[in-house]
Amino acid sequence: MGDYKVKDITLADFGRKDINLSEVEMPGLMECRNRYSKDTFANCRIAGSLHMTIQTAVLIETLDALGANVRWCSCNIFSTQDHAAAAIAEAGTAAVFAWKDESLAEYWECTLNAVTYPKDDGKGFGPDMIVDDGGDMTLLVHKGVEYEKAYAKDGSLPDASTTDDEEMKIVLGLLAREIPKDPLRFTTMAKRIVGVSEETTTGVHRLYQMSKAGTLLFPAINVNDSVTKSKFDNLYGCKHSLPDGIMRATDVMIAGKKAMVCGYGDVGKGCAMALKAQGAIVYIAECDPICALQACMEGFHVSRLEDVVGIIDIFITATGNKGIIMATDMAKMKNNAIVGNIGHFDNEIDVKGLHSKDIKKMEIKPRVHRFTFPDGHGIILLAEGRLLNLGCATGHPSFVMSNSFTNQTLAQIELWTNRTKGTYETGKVYVLPKKLDEMVARLHLEKLGAVLTTLTKEQADYIHVSADGPFKPETYRY
């Protein structure tokens, strides 16, 4: 067995066929393999924590084609596509540690395996860069450094009993086990890491908080806020994959149903568009007056959850916040109301509150459960409150992920090629320049048969831009 842990290596042939299909649908990412030298990432270790899907396999093999030594895990216990993981493992293009339906303990072991290389290359056992989605790999490194300092000071180790958070208990337990083995593992790791590129809104929030607090140990590029990521993956990706997940999970007809989307950011907008297109009557819950006004102008009802909870058939959380739908809310819902989440983490829905002794849980099929309340009515929970589009379906389609992952590749190239120039400072969070954002868009237009209009010099001068772009100021909101 090679350096990997997957569910079933015999799925590799199926995975390879699917990867081949996706490569055709990912023109931007594939063009990176032609544009950049095969030794772009020479002597570079890249560790990734991002949904181990077919689309991610194409990203991994792009990094590998440009010379990187790649290790990978998934950033969600339900999101791995096992045939994708098997194909990567068999090809050896990355050491991969991921399978669908991991336990939380297995998930963090996979994260540890992905960030830890088997040999010391003279700079330690860590990676040179991280590709993160949600910030868990970045979190593990930072927590490791924090507790190694405490261990060096007084021999103390992390104590899982100091937190009520079940996942953090696992992280602290893992660090308590590992730190005595190598008391400087994470400290050495953090010093060699030249940067992280972060995929999603929630992970970006974490990075900005750490940067503000002065605790971020290396530079970061915020990929999420590239226009060709947030306005495409978050919007059009969710527009595609939300109804796919709902229908695969429940086979319910959406037309005519009342649906509430909690949150009307880019993700919420895509979800609302998709539900409206299916014929649902859509309600929006929103705290931001600008987003609420946008929802009104699109013809959606803007209401508080508590005012309509008894009439809604489908509830979707898309806020990036916590405690959005509580067990007390679900107790008031219609019988067999569908409840799902498409925000990154699993704390938007009060899943813990559903596991009380008075509420009965029944598995309908994997990642689809019915919870029955004492009065006999029940709700249907998708993907245990985690990302339903990946837990119950296959996530976003390849073309839109090509936009996101071309940005990821460019971010990694930026960090690596500028690592000695001081371009990206430790502790700061950056976005990719608009010229690169526009390049990502250009790389996808031919696939769609689009032909751009070219400005004359006189026209370009009139609006004070180059005829080759960038065409908008940094303040422009698409």
Q: Which residues are catalytic?
A: 51, 74, 79, 133, 199, 224, 229, 233-234, 238, 344, 396, 404, 408
Q: What are phi and psi of 318, to 5 degrees?
A: -150, 40
Give the integer Cα–Cα distance in Å for 295 and 302: 7
H helices of 92-126, in order, are 104-115
Contacts of 24 (CB under 8 A, 6+ apart): none
Q: Which of 156, 170, 74 is nearest to 113 (CA)?
A: 74
Contacts of 251 (CB under 8 A, 6+ apart): none
Q: Cis omega (within 30 of 0) on the bond before 158?
A: no
Amino acid at the residue 182: D
Cβ atoms 444, 28 nearer than 8 A: yes
Report residue 193 as tokens. Answer: 């890491």
Q: What are phi and psi of 379, to 5 degrees?
A: -125, 155
Residue position matching structure tokens 């898309």: 318
Contacts of 48 (CB under 8 A, 6+ apart): 56, 59, 60, 70, 71, 72, 73, 94, 114, 130, 131, 132, 137
Q: Which of 223, 219, 277 is nearest to 246 (CA)?
A: 277
What count of Cα atoms within 13 Å lies in the side-chain half-sphere of residue 212?
6
Report residue 41 as tokens. Answer: 């990432």
Cβ atoms 234, 260 nearer than 8 A: no
Break the chain down into helix, strand, coil percent, rounded to 5.
45, 15, 40
Cβ atoms 171, 102 nearer than 8 A: no
Give the integer Cα–Cα distance in Å for 254 and 276: 9
User: 157, exposed or middle or buried, with CB in 10 Å at 0-12, 13-18, 19+?
Assistant: middle
Cβ atoms 303, 285 nearer than 8 A: yes
Contacts of 122 (CB under 8 A, 6+ apart): none
Cβ atoms 84, 96 nearer than 8 A: no
Cβ atoms 139, 172 nearer than 8 A: no
Q: Which of 289, 250, 281, 285 is nearest to 268 (CA)?
A: 285
